[in-house]
Structure 1
Amino acid sequence: MRTGRLAFFVAALMLVAAMVPSALGAGTAASASPAVLAGVPVAGVSSYVDGAFVSTDYAYDDHDVAYPDGLTNAADLVQLHIGLDGGAVHVRAILETLRDAHVPVLGVGFDTDNNPRTGMASFPGGRWTANPALGLDAVAVVHSAGGWLLRPAGARWTTVARFPTRVDAGANLIDATIPLRPGAARWRMYAVLGAADANGHDWVDGSQPISDLAFVGDEAPANWQHQHQDAVLAGAADSRAAGALVDFGLLASRATRPAPPLGPGFHTLLYRSRLRLGEGIGQATIDAPGRTPAPVGSLYAGPYQPYLVWLPGHLPPRPPLIVHMHGFGGDHTSDAGEFGPVRSDKTVAGLFIGDGGFTPPAVVAFPLGRGENTFYMGPAEQDVLDVTTDALARFGADPDRVVLSGVSMGGFGTFRIGIRFPDRWSALVPFIGTGGSAQYEFGAVPGPVLDEVLSPSRFPAGAAELLDNLADLPIRMVNGQVDPLVNNVLVSQDTLRLDQLGYDYRAWVLLRRQHEVVPALSNCVLLEALTHRRQVDPAHVVLAVEPAMFMHDPATGLDLHYDHAYWVSGVVVRDGADTGSVDVTSLARADRANDSSRIVAAGENVTSGADLCGPNDAVHTGDAWREVGIELRPARSRQPVGNGLGASLRAVSDVTLDLGRMGLRVDHPLAVAVTGDGVANVRLVGPWTGRRVVVERDGTRVAVLHPTRALLTLTGDLSGRHVYVLRSSPS
């Protein structure tokens, strides 16, 4: 039985409580236009793509490499292409990081007779103890200074040809045409990558290590996925795992032979990010206004970002998607052990990576979040959004059934990202996380001090005050009563706020648990979350906005604005205010009201089997818990409908509403009731062009408008409550 996993450290909680993350530090200036990955980039998988043999490697699998001269991630192979150029072998290597063209050294080995008993046992330099022998009949060494083709001469290698090379630091690639002509033969090939030091020494002369092998697959979903590769390099695993049999006849015919579909279990995927963060492994920081940025660990700045996926035994044609974020100190593989059937074999590894329990019938994507300790802010937040987009496209997943979830720091991220983009998700499931209600934990600290070290509205990351945004997004929370890291006071205040708002929520507190996740006990929570569908055009939208949390950096391409959701956009908070909010209801929707039931319950599985949702004979974890929540369901009586809307604006000077998505018409009289607290613009998007619009305010005609585009703006002092009626006719 899985009893829990520590995913977060006290120091991390103290840090995030003391500083507001506004951006994550990046590395040096970014390269321009890194190469596009070919095919479907799945790590450890090879296929034929339009006349090229394409093999994708694991990103950042050089974690244990001792690079020279303080280099990091300097020779990390992401993808290798093998093709033909005028009948000669062409190779292209795409790297995660390529800042200095003189650093990477690529080696390509050829067993041309497919006989490991002939040729050389391994590459020159002795840094790969191949077991069994590779039987290399030729090796091409590719470097910025040129290429060398080596052939065996007795027990030594000798250079038999030179050839030109291209090492493009802007595109992160190494390119060369090797003077070997395979015809239509099938050759077994190997490839290695390493870094040269400042004196030009590298793996070829044995002075520097080989940092990466091509073609190695079947890496376990743990610890940056380099253990199998390390074992192959050390001779402890079969060297044939690092070889590929390449059919040059297929390359000559420009064949495409896709890899087999991904089966159940874990797979590592890569996508190409549009951000320009400087490559390499930099320093992630958390900033606070007027304070020195605090380092929080590594920032994986490269253009090719990995994420893990778990696939169940069966998926429907348009499967749901769960995006699950790791805790502090973890990576995209850290929560792999929580997923899959409960494993009865008790191993030491199981104590650290889990023994299963979460079994949702969904694609589960695990983002890296650009680092182990990034709190899903800035580039890390963008990574979560990009992984969501990529996974939806790759698996044909249903965009209306996307659950955002996470553990510990990932639970914090679930609040943070879910609340800021409420229209992207169908449900939120934070485990041992909180909305960061700092005013309750630090209530005795004077306001000016909080303003200095926290966000302008006194929340780390400004999440809790935005709980209003969950009007159309169910949330399910699971926490431990005696959690020493995520204070249960914070969790209780989040729960109280959701209860005050009357939103659809559930909150379970495990009375005997600390900072732990119990998958078998909580699996039903994920299953219930999958029953919800994303609200695309709800009848009622609430959007609270905190401009201080916006991020716009033209240098990196990072642009995160939280001023829109559903059919509301362009929310501008009035000067001098920290936050603003809009609350808008379409009167054209008969389903704009809900009936509700309050949930107050307790449970245990000490005396009989149960999970958090009810009796379950298969679950005996020795737990007791309490549950509170509100269940919402469509009202039994339909609401009267009309062509109008009601809006409440607080500290907002500008807002745009899409009338079509609200179900409203411009060719009928349109009533707009607005309650505000100052001058504001209410912009109404609709088919206004070519129409004459008579505007009445509180029963008095105030204007006749002739819109020239699909936008009509109501402007004025909206303090108090005012009713506009718009009567339009063709001009």
Structure 2
Amino acid sequence: MRRVSLLLATGLLAGTGAVAVADVEPPVLHAAQQRGTAVVSALPAVPPTPKTVDGQTGDWAGEAAGFSGLSHYSAGELVHADYLFDAFGAEDGDDVDRVSRNDALEEASPGFYRLEPTYQYDIGGQVGAPTGEVGLGGEPVYGDAQDTDGGGHVAAADLREVRVAADASTVSLLVRTTTMTADRSAGVVVLADTVDGSSAYDVPFGSGLRTERADVALLVARTGGVAVDLATGTRTAFPVAADDSGYDNVLEAGIPRALVERSAKDKPGKGKGKALGHKPRLQLALAAGVSDGADGLVDLQGEDADVVNVANVAFRPDEPVRIRFDKRQAFALHDGTIDPFFVDVDVDGLLAGRTEALRPGAGYHERQFTSSEQISVEGDRDGIWQPYGVYVPSSYDGTTPTRTTYWMHWRGGDTHDAAVVSPRTMRDFGEDVGGLVIAPRGRGTSTWYVGKAQVDFREVWDDVLSTFAVDEDRVYVTGHSMGGWASYLLSILYPDRFAAALPYAGVPTQGLWAGCEFDDNCWQGTNGGNAKDQWTTPLLENLRNVPIAISHGALDELVPVTGVTRQAEKLATLGYRYRYYLFPTYEHYSHPIHDEWAEGARYASEFTRDENPARVTYLRSMPFERTVETGPDQGRPYAGLDFSFDSAYWMSGLSPVDGQRGVAKVDAVSLAKAAAPVLTVPEAGGPAALGQLGPYAMQGLRWTADPLAAAPAAVNGFTATLTGASAVAFDLARMGISASAPVTGAVTTEAPLALSLRGGWTSVPAVTGATVTSLVDGVLTLQLPAGT
């Protein structure tokens, strides 16, 4: 533990070494990751749909962009996506001096930004030591509001989406939260600035807020809506409908325009409303607390002092990138106001059906997607709406296929931790190589990307492909610690998705492997894992077509270097492309502290995916597969998931003889591809590189074209060797094999095998050496006896 704090102090105070020519930052002292921008373009108007206050969303026709903090117009609706899981309310005063001091240091020298996440991230706690030993706070959020159950996140007030529409007489408001139940729902405070030069007022409803801008305050709750003229106290009711069924979580209101709109005939003069002209204006701010079931809000308490009774504020596009995107919110609420977050709504645009396209611009974003109900539970952060982080490089235009790197967070981490704690991840894997960086949440902090977290990865994968222009031949996976494990896990399970893998301080199993095999104690699980069943080393054969660069510290106190070294030795024995970077002075957290990833990014850049390689080697381990389906806690196995990791490239349907504990392996070669011979040659490097000061020693293997060997002649056939398998299928077209000509196949199988060939046949062809069992939809299935 002492090593961690000393290394951090040394890096922060003495980082003055050589810097890459293109690098404007000293080592360690790296500037904050910049918040992503919005690229908005006008589209033809779409007539708005009439709204009915019924708590249903079917008459809200605008399309959601799904990027947190950003707003746009669609079908005459202002559509705003709020940040997910950020309802932490006001800062209660304990962080004011520290944050002010750190902000001043950051303004003087941007690299001092890293002091703030160092305080927020409990480094001591990460290695099991008391936080006080290193003097760090470990408070990942700025807000200190406590829910009535004592929890630190006010889930019922967690805004997900806000929409505003209008017709000739009514402003329609739709508010959706991540959590709503019949007995617990949001109370939404709306402030309206309707006249020029408002006085200061206390905001009613037990909100604890004060405003120097608004003159009308409204409360929207499932019990009804009320607007209060802050100057006169006049109260006006308006209709509200709610729907807590499923995951809609809707509060819908119909507010008379006259209550909240600047009059079209009111021409403001000097001051904040200058130059507004005669157009009708709607200026709103909105925040959510928890409804008390009557006409007010539940009282919230802070950790150390009383706080205002709203926990989440909408319309904050300029929140800096933080673990929960709540810094500006927390300190504005500490001051008792939401005045900084007024939005100017284009009423004429609402009436005319104003419509825009929004795509994420350069910088870091939170993306929202709809998860499956199968793994979702109404409550706090386990619902159907989930986030992932995405860095968008300045070169991204929304149409050109772009390299993409998946960053998998460490154990104890969350979606945005890398962007906050180690901001150079987004530059080294993103901006400097013109790439997107995707940061999945994994349904929690310590889920090991199995069970629900594996579903999360697959759902994020699908959303990324449907949302962004991805170059599918240049997709990479990387991560630190548990994220390093995920770099092994995902590239082994899905080798046909990745061009390269880059584990940092990655453990070869869910827990640790000491590098020995003579005793079960060589494997030790964590978070309920079965470390021996989840051991990736025997499955490294799946990486024949996925180069991998392993980076590890010799002093790692959590992931023994012995096991990782054996991992590298296995790759060397296989003759695969790999690099092993060993850092003699690094411990477990040195990589995110030093925050240097450029060498790995450069290595990955050398490779593109071969979607249909000449040779495929793939193992399907049923014990491993079961832990991925039921994990992470094998003592409380998750039920109902079936992943069937049985395919890669042009091979599919790989089935083991023993469906419970068996391991099936296929090693198949398409002779039609006639791959050029390569030489496997060693490589070495160190002790430093541009953007990677080290010191490190690197060894590995590289494939290079054999100048003395000619490519073999193409043959319309294949070879395959199988062990422990009862069935497998090959796609002949993807193998480059023509089904309209004679096909030869040399198959060696340890057990009787059902071999299916997808060839598009319309009638059964002549077959020798095997028994035809079926021809269905162009797929010919043969039964082969054990042997050759």
TM-score range with shorter-chain normalisation?
A: 0.7 to 0.9
Judging changes above 3 Å, is the alpha-carbon distance between structure 1 residues 555 and 449 closer, same or farther for their aligned structure 2 residues? closer
Identify which of 214, 233, 245 aligns with 1:135: 214
What residue number does 2:386 align with? 305
Structure 1 residue 211 and structure 2 residue 311: aligned?
A: yes
Measure, in 1, the Cα distance between the counterparts of 2:241 and 2:638.
31
Q: Distance in 1 between matches of 2:773 and 2:419?
A: 59
Distance 1:440 1:230, change over 3 A: closer
Where 2:157 maps in the other structure, the secondary structure is coil
Is 1:579 the counterpart of 2:663? The answer is yes
What is the correspondence of 1:499-538 to structure 2 with a 5 Å cutoff?
A: 499-515=572-588, 516-517=590-591, 521-538=596-613
2: distance between equivalents of 1:409 and 1:172? 34
CA apart distance, 1:50 = 1.3
**Bigger proportion of residues as strand:** 1
Aligned pairs for 1:562-573 (under 5 A) are 562-573=645-656
What does 1:548-563 correspond to in 2, within 5 Å?
548=623, 549-550=625-626, 558-563=641-646
Residues of 2 paired with 1:357 and 1:684: CA distance?
41
The correspondence for 2:186, drawn from 77, 99, 104, is: 104
Show the counterpart of 1:669.
Answer: 742
Identical aligned pairs, as a percentage? 26
Q: CA deviation at 1:121?
A: 5.3
Are the aligned partners of 1:147 and 1:165 in contact in 2 as well (CA < 8 Å)? no
Structure 1: how far apart are the matches of 2:609 and 2:523? 39
Aligned 8 A contact 2:481 2:505 in 1: yes
Task: Give unpaired runs (5+ residues) of structure 2.
Answer: 1-14, 16-25, 30-55, 89-143, 265-278, 302-307, 631-636
| Structure 2 residue 227 is matched with structure 1 residue 149 | yes
How far apart are 1:626 and its partner, in Å? 1.6
Query: 2:11 maps to which residue?
Result: none
Find the aligned partners of 2:396 and 2:420 in 1 and give their Cα distance. 20
Deviation at 1:87, TM superposition (A): 3.8
* Match in the other structure for 1:443: 517
Report SS of the residue matched to 1:148: strand
Map residues 642-653 of structure 1 onto 2, 5 A cutoff.
642-653=715-726
Distance 1:708 1:205 in 2: 66
1:710 aligns with 2:778: yes
Deviation at 1:560, TM superposition (A): 2.6
For the pair 1:367 / 2:367, whether they are aligned, the reply is: no
1:66 corresponds in structure 2 to: 146
Q: String of CA shifts for 1:546-578, please: whole Å, max 9, x gaps.
A: 223246699998543311111111111112643
Cα separation, 1, equivalents of 2:347 and 2:547: 54
In structure 2, do the counterparts of structure 1 residues 388 and 450 end up closer, same or farther at CA, with 3 Å as the change threshold? closer
User: Contact 2:402 / 2:436 at 8 angstroms: preserved in 1?
Assistant: yes
Equivalent residue for 1:40, pick from 51, 54, 65: 65
Which of 678, 681, 691 in structure 1 is aligned with 2:751? 678
Kindly indicate whether the alpha-carbon contact (under 8 Å) linking 1:692 and 1:705 is maintained by their aligned counterparts in 2.
Answer: no
Q: Which amino acid aligns with 1:693?
A: P
Is 1:172 aligned with 2:249? Answer: yes
Distance 2:528 2:574 in 1: 25
Does residue 1:274 correspond to 2:372, yes or no? yes
8 Å Cα contact 1:436/1:490 also seen in 2: no
Q: C-alpha displacement at 1:89, in angstroms?
A: 1.0
Pair 1:545-2:620 in alignment = yes
SS at match of 1:715: strand
CA distance in 2, matches of 1:450, 1:329: 18
Closer/same/farther in 2, CA of residues 541 and 354 from structure 1, 3 Å limit: closer
After superposition, where does 1:278-357 map in structure 2 within 5 Å?
A: 278-279=376-377, 300-315=381-396, 317-337=400-420
**Residue in 2 aligned with 1:350?**
none
Change beyond 3 A, Cα 1:557–1:217: farther
Inter-partner Cα distance in structure 2 for 1:44 and 1:507: 41
Count the aligned residue pairs.
639
Cα gap change, 1:531 to 1:36, in 2 (>3 Å): farther
Q: C-alpha separation between the residues in 1 aligned to 2:565 and 2:522?
A: 25
Q: Contact 1:392–1:398 at 8 Å: present in 2 too?
A: no
Structure 1, 102-111 or 481-490: larger mean CA deviation = 102-111
Partner of 2:362: 264
**CA drift at 1:414:** 1.1
Deviations 1:430-468 (A, max 9, x none): 111132296654634359999999988x63534222111
Question: 1:66 Cα deviation (Å)?
Answer: 1.2
Distance in 2, Cα, partners of 1:116 & 1:204: 31
Residue 191 (structure 1) shift:
1.1
Q: Is the 8 A contact 1:129 1:233 kept in 2?
A: no
1:387 aligns with 2:439: no
Counterpart of 1:695 in structure 2 is 767
CA positional deviation for 1:88 = 1.0
Instruction: Find the aligned partners of 1:368 and 1:279 in 2 and give their Cα distance.
Output: 16
> Does the residue aligned with 1:585 lie in a helix, a strand or coil?
strand
| TM-score, normalisation: structure 1 | 0.79
Candidates 216, 235, 249, aligned match of 1:159? 235
Structure 1 letter corresponding to 2:286: A
Tell me the SS of whatever aligns to 1:707. Answer: strand
Change (3 A) 1:333 1:603: same
Match of 1:485 in 2: 558
2:674 paired with 1:590: yes
Segments of 5+ residues of structure 1 without an aligned counterpart are 6-31, 283-299, 343-352, 605-609, 722-731
Range moving further from structure 2, 310-319 or 570-579? 310-319
Query: Measured at CA, do residues 204 and 52 of structure 1 come closer, stay the same or move farther in structure 2, by a change above 3 Å?
Result: farther
Residues 634-666 of structure 1: CA deviation (Å, up to 9, x unaligned): 555212211111111111111111111111122
- Counterpart of 2:3? none
Provide the rounded CA distance (Å) in 1 between the counterparts of 2:429 and 2:486.
23
Structure 1 residues 217 and 705: alpha-carbon distance in aligned structure 2, compared to 1, 3 A threshold: closer
Distance 1:510 1:579, change over 3 A: same
Change (3 A) 1:514 1:164: closer
Amino acid at match of 1:211: A
| Distance of 2:431 and 2:585 partners within structure 1 | 20
Q: Please give the alpha-carbon distance, in whole angstroms, between the structure 2 residues aligned to 1:355 and 1:629.
A: 22
Shift of 1:305: 1.5
Q: Deviations over 1:610-636 (max 9, x none)?
A: 41xxxx4x76x4x33221211113555
CA contact (8 A) 1:339 1:357 kept: no
Q: 1:105·1:196 contact (CA, 8 Å) conserved in 2? A: yes
Partners in 2 of 1:568 and 1:33 — Cα distance?
Answer: 44
C-alpha distance after superposition, 1:73-101 (max 9, x if no partner): 22200110111256411111121122336
For 2:721 and 2:768, locate their aligned partners in 1 and report how far apart those are by CA, in whole Å: 19
Q: Does 1:82 align with 2:160?
A: no
1:221 aligns with 2:321: yes
List per-residue Cα deviations over 1:51-90 (Å, max 9, x = no partner): 1001111111124431124575222001101112564111
Task: Determine the C-alpha separation between the residues in 1 that align with 2:514 and 2:201.
Answer: 69
Superposition map of 1:20-35 within 5 A: none
Equivalent-residue separation in structure 2 for 1:206 and 1:434 (angstroms): 42
Q: CA deviation at 1:545?
A: 0.8
Paired with 2:197 and 2:205, the residues of 1 have a C-alpha distance of: 16
Question: Cα distance, 1:393 vs. partner?
Answer: 3.6
- Cα distance in structure 1, aligned partners of 2:331 and 2:714: 69
2:78 and 2:345 in contact (8 A); partners too: yes
8 Å CA contact retained: 1:121, 1:135: no
Larger displacement relative to structure 2 (204-213 or 164-173): 204-213
The 2-side partners of 1:528 and 1:276 are apart by 38
